[in-house]
Amino acid sequence: MEKAILNYYALNGTITPVREFSIPAEGFKVYEVVRIIKGTPLFMEMHINRLTNSMEIAKVKSSLDIAKVTEIFYKVIEANGNIDGNIKLIINFYGDKENYYVYYIPHSYPEEKLYKEGIHTVLYNGERNNPNAKVINATFRKVLDEQLKENNAYEALLVDKHGRVTEGSKSNVFFVRNNILITPPLEQVLPGVTRAKILEIAKENNIEVQEKYINKNELKEYQGAFISGTSPKVLPIKSIDSIKICSSDNFLVKKIMKLYDNKIDKYINN
């Protein structure tokens, strides 16, 4: 059940009171979630590119003018008093109908303590049907949320049928070994905007990166790990099931956390 917060949202580009908000359960939905900081949609251009890519992969065509997406986001931000948070865009295809919604959603950002100590994660045997496309799968999300609650975990790391760790249930994942940054290949994961920015940071700072498969049986060999995403940004992992990882003390993890925050500041100031 989709939920909109604050006072206004956009329905097909028109600012509308949130009390009228309703998205039918029926239909095929493509979406993006963008973080708003200081009234600015963070890395908006990359989100738009991913939205376009998701529709191409899913083989759906939208009448939405992609060039106007940023304008609609700013209309929603302004209508709600330039509040920071997360805004979601959903394009819902149902038969020959299509509607798109832009609205603030409830968000949960990690406490500062988690950045200092790291998070607990669990392994989950499962794969997305189409990892490169950002589409809504309510059943998949419900099962994973139950797993997280049962294990008091912040995130679940997905393991494919070959025993390889691919990504988080709502994030990308990186590992550190011998000062090398390692992450699963793009074809097996959601092309996260934060993930792309981290790879950009690594290139700019001469940090060696390897995109390769990571077997779950090799996890004890890594000195650091973190998840990345719109809400968590760069968040260290302290444990994967019973495996302990001192990520919050790892030099490379701390360096990337700082460089990513600097990247955000620079984007907003520009």
133-182 pLDDT, tens digit per residue, is 666 677 888 888 898 999 999 999 999 999 999 999 999 999 999 999 99
Domains of the chain, earliest start first:
8-105 (3.30.470.10), 112-269 (3.20.10.10)
Name the strand (E) or helix (H) holding 176: strand 172-177
Interatomic CA distance for residues 178 and 180, integer angstroms? 5
Q: What is the pLDDT of residues 92-132, one digit of tens each?
A: 999 889 999 999 999 999 999 999 999 999 999 988 777 66
What CA–CA distance (Å, rounded) separates 71 from 117?
39
- Residue-by-residue DSSP string for 1-55: -----SSEEEETTEEEEGGG----S-SEEEEEEEEEETTEETTHHHHHHHHHHHH
Q: Is 129 exposed, middle or buried (0-12, 13-18, 19+ CB in 10 A)?
A: exposed
Report the predicted TM-score, pTM, of the whole model to 2 decimal places.
0.91
- In angstroms, the CA 17 to CA 25 distance is 20
